[in-house]
């Protein structure tokens, strides 16, 4: 997981209610609301609640630890609780981190969530097509279009591609594809490892061999990926 710095919480001191509920100040993060409450003896605690689906959930928590100052309570919220709860949202470094992001967003994906995510993935694929400036005028599939050596774009065309848009589309496809896999109950990380194992079985003496079309050949050592273990059964 990344340990990237998170934006500082902004404390609203006007939230204090004159002692009715001991509230002193409040701050909001994308996932939680924090309220510092000051007890009669001078101790403080952090009252926090999670936001679910952009609406306030009713799982407000009044839990230790107890702090001896408002600043100590704020520091705990900023440096301990906030980072731990926001970790799924920070910049991902692996498929697992991306999957965790989706788990935080959709703990129990519905059919609507799944179909929406598939639509998001296709949207990113189409953005890649736009970035590549594919005209596909002969009604061939995009796969055939790019595999056909006679229709591969020229160096001039490649040099005029918006590479930022293409890279953005490729990155978003990884994210949206991971989201589809998560919502369908697939073990995407395990499946990818199995696919990589299968691809590596195409190597002969540590090297890949290619056919006349430039595709990697499948020697006798090749074995297809078995993705059965990575799909939940009975669903």
Burial class (CB in 10 A: 0-12, 13-18, 19+), 119: exposed
d(CA 11, CA 27): 5
Those residues with Cβ within 8 angstroms of residue 147's Cβ, 6 or more apart along the chain or in another chain: 213
From first to last of its 235 residues, the chain has per-residue pLDDT tens of 334 446 788 899 888 766 667 888 999 877 778 889 888 778 888 888 876 544 444 444 545 578 888 999 898 888 888 777 765 555 555 677 777 767 777 788 888 778 888 888 888 888 877 777 666 545 456 666 666 545 555 566 667 778 888 888 888 899 899 999 988 899 988 888 898 888 888 887 777 787 776 677 888 888 898 999 999 765 4
Candidates 161, 169, 160; CA nearest to 128 is: 169
Prior bond to 65 cis, omega within 30? Answer: yes
Please give the pLDDT value at position 135: 61
pLDDT value for 146: 61
Model confidence, pTM: 0.53
Confidence at residue 132, expressed as pLDDT on a 0 to 100 scale: 72
CA distance 20 to 56: 21
Dist. CA 14–CA 72, nearest whole Å: 19
pLDDT at 11: 92
Q: What is the pLDDT of residue 118?
A: 82
Query: Residue 127 to residues 39, 74, 141, 171: CA-CA distances in angstroms?
Result: 55, 43, 16, 11
Provide the total of helices (H) and of strands (E) in the chain, helices listed first: 8, 5
């Amino acid at each position: 997981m990344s340990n990237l710095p998170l934006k500082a919480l902004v404390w609203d001191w006007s939230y204090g209610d004159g002692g009715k509920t001991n509230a002193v100040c409040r701050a909001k993060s994308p996932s939680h609301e924090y309220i510092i409450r000051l007890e009669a003896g001078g101790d403080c605690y952090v009252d926090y609640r999670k936001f679910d689906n952009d609406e306030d959930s009713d799982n407000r928590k009044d839990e230790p630890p107890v702090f001896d100052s408002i600043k100590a309570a704020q520091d705990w919220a900023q440096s301990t609780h906030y980072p731990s709860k926001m970790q799924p949202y920070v910049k991902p470094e692996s498929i697992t981190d991306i999957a965790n992001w989706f788990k935080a967003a959709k703990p129990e994906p519905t059919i609507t969530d799944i179909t929406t995510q598939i639509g998001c993935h296709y949207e990113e694929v189409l953005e890649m097509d736009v970035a590549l400036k594919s005209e596909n005028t002969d009604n061939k599939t995009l796969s055939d279009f790019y595999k056909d050596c006679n229709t591969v774009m020229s160096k001039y065309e490649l040099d005029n591609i918006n590479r930022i848009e293409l890279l953005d589309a490729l990155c978003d496809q990884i994210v949206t594809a991971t989201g589809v896999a998560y919502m369908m109950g697939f073990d995407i990380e395990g499946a990818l490892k199995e696919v990589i194992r299968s691809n590596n079985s195409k190597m002969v003496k540590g090297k890949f061999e290619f056919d006349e079309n430039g595709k990697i050949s499948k020697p006798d050592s090749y074995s297809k990926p078995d993705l059965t273990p990575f799909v939940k059964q009975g669903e």
